[in-house]
Amino acid sequence: MSEFTTYSSDGGVAVITMNNPPVNGLGFGVRKGLIEGLKKALDDKSVKAIVVTGSGKAFSGGADIKEFNTPKMSAEPSLHAVIAAIESAEKPVIAAVHSVAMGGGLELALGCHYRVAVPGAQIALPEVKLGLLPGAGGTQRLPRVIGVEPALNMIVSGNPVPSEKFANTKLFDELIQGELIPGAIAFAKKIADQRPLPKVRDLKIDYPNHEAFFQFARNTVGAVARNFPAPMKCLECVAAAVTMKFEDGVKFEREQFAYLVQTTESKALRHAFFGERAASKIPDVPEDTPTRTIKSAAVVGAGTMGGGIAMNFANAGIPVTVLETKQEALDKGLATVRKNYENSMKKGRLTPDKFEQRVGLIKGTLTYDDIKNADIVIEAVFEEMGVKEMVFKKLDEVMKPGAILASNTSTLDVNKIAAFTKRPQDVIGTHFFSPANVMKLLEVVRGAKTGKDVLATTMALSKKIKKTGVVSGVCDGFIGNRMIEQYSRQAGFLLEEGCLPEQVDKAVEKFGFAMGPFRMGDLAGNDIGWAIRKRRYAERPNMVYSKTADLLCEMGRFGQKTGAGWYDYKPGDRRPNPSSLVNDMIVKHSKDIGVERRKIGDQEIVERLVYALVNEAAYILEEGIAQRASDVDMVYLTGYGFPLYRGGPMLYADTVGLSNVVSAMEKYAKGRNGQFWKPAPLLAKLAAEGKTFN
Ligand SMILES: NC(=O)c1ccc[n+]([C@@H]2O[C@H](COP(=O)([O-])OP(=O)(O)OC[C@H]3O[C@@H](n4cnc5c(N)ncnc54)[C@H](O)[C@@H]3O)[C@@H](O)[C@H]2O)c1
């Protein structure tokens, strides 16, 4: 027997148990073990029926992700072959389902003659979430056992449904209330002699009005799926289950699967899936690095960020105390938090119980004495080194030994902040994104002296509060904002050379960004960038940057909060309206600096903005600020609204081809402000070698 399956037989029933922790992924070893077990059971005359199940925490979670992109993935026996062998077996095969039956795991169960399950098992075909479809008969068999509409919902959404919901369907022949295996064996004995053996493939689908239904579904799914082809392909496969013979439907399903696997959208989704996992790995901080216990937290500053950060802890069940200097600021901050939770409750996303529980976990204080015992404290006060210095000196004085001292700074030097304390090993940057209770990204900034256990604890915490933690080294702007500076710089140049804000935003939004740079500026507040630029103009007098954004701020147009920014806003309406005042200012500015405005196409706009990100990221990678290209992609997918179906700036550049990216940059280098288009050495090298970032 393979080490991935075990075999036992007792009283005429053989039990084959998959054993491939953590979720019995259907890797090569499991597939081989299933075939061997089946053969053994079929050869053994004393065996009358065969139960297939999984050990540990799952029946089976589907494909073994460890095998993705390896030859083992497609090595025979394939999942198709295993299912065919089970389905054509001359003795009844019963799937005994518990905990999780997903993807290939569910398809395997559907290939068995019978299925029994315990209540509470999670049943799903989640392939669509990776831009794929269930390719081992799932789209053809599931509609035959639970009906077309429920099957379509499951396959198009990929969401799990608890097993008891299928009590009266052909998916499960019996729901077992007691222990699964004895129940499955008893069931097997009961049906052992029944012939012919039932096969899901033989079930007829009777759906008289299917054409009207599928037409309706096409409209709905098409509207939701937008740039992703997989949901529609899932739908067409389910339609094929109704209109085609089983064999033809399976063939059609395979063809659609083969098509989807090579789409950039599926590649992007798989990249993001693996990128999320990769981001949590730090080469010199092994997974068994001891972590510190986080049972309580504190936040200093109850402003825009502090309140949202506190909510993250409360949502994870960790009590948190928020410290402010003045009662008024504290009251205001806590009132905002309460309001956010009330809104969630009104929208039905939070029960009244949970509301009370979460609000109850957040306390306010004006004294450090109330936070000194917290396991972690996150500072979110004004972005001024002097204020940070005061706060960190105080934290160093009062916090218990071993507490993690984190800063939410977005631009300041975390090493300098750490040096304000006598325990720099306990200091780390936790850069949340606004709104901090919503945005998935958390840049975890590793200072020169940050302890490995502090880093490991903070990464584990980011998972606990449901963030995508990405490690960044210390530099101005860390990964995300350092890159966005180059993007914003190009956006400003585009205005000077001939674009208006609306044209730039539209081009970038058509590319797939959630928001173009100028709408984004109006949302975040143009004054924030203005303050940063003023600091930089002082630090680097030769900095080249379009003055348009400064002129805008000088007009008092800070964005939505002042009712006017790059666009005009009507009261209570966030929709942007082009502003003739701003557009005149831009055109006049071009004239003032002697630039003849020209017509600029969408392709140039997108290339200049996106390649500016890519080139800066190449420097960031070379300097070791980011650990890997997929980390950069995760930052942009989870924090900056980069289109998921393109997989992030680095995967996008890989898809375009790095030599094409470099050629475009060489072209722009001949234009105005061409000095910004020198390819980073890493980019130039990879392009010359025909390689990719990812
Ligand atoms: N706003 C954003 O989008 C954003 C995003 C990421 C990071 N950040 C960073 O987060 C930090 C906070 O930013 P914000 O936007 O929440 O600022 P904010 O001005 O909204 O809030 C700061 C709060 O800190 C309080 N405060 C000031 N000094 C204090 C002290 N000594 N002790 C206790 N409280 C004090 C103020 O009363 C105020 O309520 C900054 O470092 C900023 O760079 C901001």
Q: What secondary structure does DSSP assign to 29-86, as a single string? A: HHHHHHHHHHHHHHH-TT--EEEEEE-TT-SB-SS-GGGTTSGGGGPSSPHHHHHHHH
CA-based angle 102:258:132, to the nearest 5?
35
Answer yes or no: is the C-beta of 323 below 6 A from any ligand 1 atom: yes
Task: Indicate the residue type of 127.
Answer: E
Which residue matches tokens 């009207």? Answer: 212
Ligand 1 centroid to Cα of residue 549, in Å, is: 23
Q: Which two tokens stand for residue 385?
A: 């080194």
Paired with 10 in beta bridges are: 13
Answer yes or no: is the C-beta of 303 below 6 A from any ligand 1 atom: yes
Q: CA-CA distance, 16 to 110, in Å (whole number)?
A: 16
User: What is the mean pLDDT of the segment spanning 451-461?
Assistant: 98
Provide the pLDDT confidence category of residue 67 given band limits of 50, 70 and 90: confident
Q: What is the pLDDT of residues 192-227, one digit of tens each?
A: 999 999 999 999 998 988 999 999 999 999 999 989
Q: What is the pLDDT of residues 538-564, one digit of tens each?
A: 888 888 999 999 999 999 999 998 999
Answer yes or no: is the C-beta of 301 below 6 A from any ligand 1 atom: yes
Q: Which two tokens stand for residue 156?
A: 């198009």
User: What is the mean pLDDT of the segment spanning 101-122?
Assistant: 98
% of the chain surpassing 70 pLDDT:
100
Ligand 1 centroid to Cα of residue 391, in Å, is: 12
Q: How many CA atoms lie within 13 A of 408 on its CB side?
A: 27
- The conformational region for residue 411 under phi > 0 = left, psi -120 to 50 = alpha, else beta, is alpha
Supply the mean pLDDT for the chain.
Answer: 96
> What is the structure's pLDDT at 1?
57
Ligand 1 centroid to Cα of residue 306, in Å, is: 7
| Residue closest to 633 by CA, chosen among 363, 206, 302, 274 | 274
**The pairing of beta strand 468-472 with beta strand 49-54:** unpaired
Q: Does the structure show a pLDDT above 90 at 125? A: yes
Q: CA-CA distance, 654 to 37, in Å (whole number)?
A: 44
pTM: 0.93
Paired with 299 in beta bridges are: 322, 378
Ligand 1 centroid to Cα of residue 574, in Å, is: 24
Kindly name the residue from 87, 127, 276, 502 that is annotated as catalytic. Answer: 127
User: What is the mean pLDDT of the segment spanning 449-474?
Assistant: 98
Provide the pLDDT confidence category of residue 536 given band limits of 50, 70 and 90: confident
Question: Which ligand 1 atom is nearest residue 323's CA?
Answer: 33
Q: CA-CA distance, 377 to 454, in Å (whole number)?
A: 12
Answer yes or no: is the C-beta of 240 below 6 A from any ligand 1 atom: no
Q: What is the pLDDT of residues 23-57, one digit of tens each?
A: 999 999 999 999 999 999 999 999 999 999 999 99
Ligand 1 centroid to Cα of residue 303, in Å, is: 5
Ligand 1 centroid to Cα of residue 408, in Å, is: 8
Answer yes or no: is the C-beta of 176 below 6 A from any ligand 1 atom: no
> What is the structure's pLDDT at 208?
87
Ligand 1 atom 27 nearest Cα = 381
Which residue matches tokens 């020209």? Answer: 598
Kindly name the residue from 36, 76, 90, 107 that is annotated as catalytic. Answer: 107
Cα Rg, the chain, nearest whole Å: 29
- Helix axes of 230-243 and 210-225: crossing angle, nearest 10 degrees: 170
Ligand 1 atom 29 nearest Cα = 381
**Are the C-beta atoms of 375 and 294 separated by less than 8 Å?**
yes
Identify the residue with better confidence: 269 or 72.
Answer: 269
Helix ranges, 512-556 (H):
517-524, 526-539, 548-554
Answer yes or no: is the C-beta of 682 below 6 A from any ligand 1 atom: no
Phi, psi of 383 (to 5 degrees): -80, 65
> What is the structure's pLDDT at 539?
87
Question: Is 107 a residue of the active site?
Answer: yes
**The pairing of beta strand 376-379 with beta strand 362-365:** unpaired
Phi, psi of 108 (to 5 degrees): -65, -45
Question: Is 389 a residue of the active site?
Answer: no
Q: For the chain, give me the number of helices (H) and strands (E)?
A: 27, 19
Ligand 1 atom 38 nearest Cα = 303
Which residue matches tokens 């935003």? Answer: 505
The DSSP element (H or E) to which 617 belongs, if any, is helix 602-622
Q: CA-CA distance, 425 to 441, in Å (whole number)?
A: 24
Helix ranges, 246-401 (H):
246-261, 264-279, 304-315, 327-346, 352-361, 385-398
Residues in the chain: 694
